[in-house]
Amino acid sequence: MKQPYFDPQRRHDAVLLFDVIDGNPNGDPDAGNQPRTDVETGHGLVTDVCLKRKIRDQIPLLHPGEERFKIFVEADVALNTNIKRAFTATKTPLTKKTSPQQRGDVQQWLCNEFFDIRMFGGVVGTGDGNAGRIRGPLQLTFARSVSPVLTQAHGITRITQTTEKDIESGESTEMGTKWTVHYGLYRAHLHYSASRGEQTGVTQQDLATLWQTMINLFEHDRASGRGEMDVKGLYIFSHDDAYGRARASQLFKGVQAALLDGVTAPRSVDDYKIVVEGKLPKGITLTRLID
């Protein structure tokens, strides 16, 4: 693993491009599960929480039952249960009044145990014990569509009733609504801090796992409601030190996606021109994992 993007002692900034065809990439529960959009511009949005969930869900598939690759934020497991385990394992009294050393011991155990804590960090001061907050090295932004998206509601029917009472009342079908985006090309940014990665114990294997999950972000997350989703670009800017040689915004300007002339209603990535700047600041290496 000599490639620069595997090195946890370097800073990394990345651009992720993905698209959706006839699906809902991220429903908004406050808006009847409609696809999230910027109400002023009409651009589609996908939250960082949604993207992190897709990463988390792949870890048990890549490292089934392996040490250091458990997931802290998962269904049917209370967060306080895992925090209590950390206090027990480190023989730390389960109390809100913990010393900095005790909090450090608990946090280190959590980082060693859980991949998502090691990468994303987390608030671990809930429950009976106070372990404070872990600042993770990896941050993801909201994804925003390159062009405004058109959302549409589709009426659907089902011939099976929900309750016996529905059948007795003579109902023969039940109605529902399905929201989709006809097409959207989305862009998100990732930032990895080497100094924070050193604090949480990130390894080369962790970064290799991260990039593999990004490449296959939607391959194990298929659902009829999400339509067809696919990663179309993953561009990693690796600095030659922990602090960084350039601002992320400067590097991100080198990756541009724009509609082709004459296209008013994009329906595929081929309706866009994606340009990646070849000239880079000194000390920066660009890896095109998907291009």
In whole angstroms, give the CA distance from residue 73 to residue 64: 16
Q: Give this prediction's pTM.
A: 0.94
With H, G, I as helix, E, B as strand and everything else as coil, classify residue 51: helix
190-200 tens-digit pLDDT: 999 999 999 99
Give me 212's structure tokens.
């593999």
| pLDDT > 90 fraction of the chain, expressed in percent and rounded | 84
Task: Find residue 21's DSSP bridge partners.
Answer: 183, 228
Per-residue model confidence as pLDDT tens digits over 62-100: 999 999 999 999 988 889 999 999 999 999 998 888 899
Question: What is the pLDDT averaged over residues 19-46?
Answer: 97
CB count, 10 Å around CB of 84? 15
Convert the pLDDT of each residue in 144-180 to its tens digit: 999 999 999 999 887 887 788 877 787 777 778 899 9
Type of residue numbered 49: V
CA proximity to 136, closest of 192, 84, 190, 81: 192
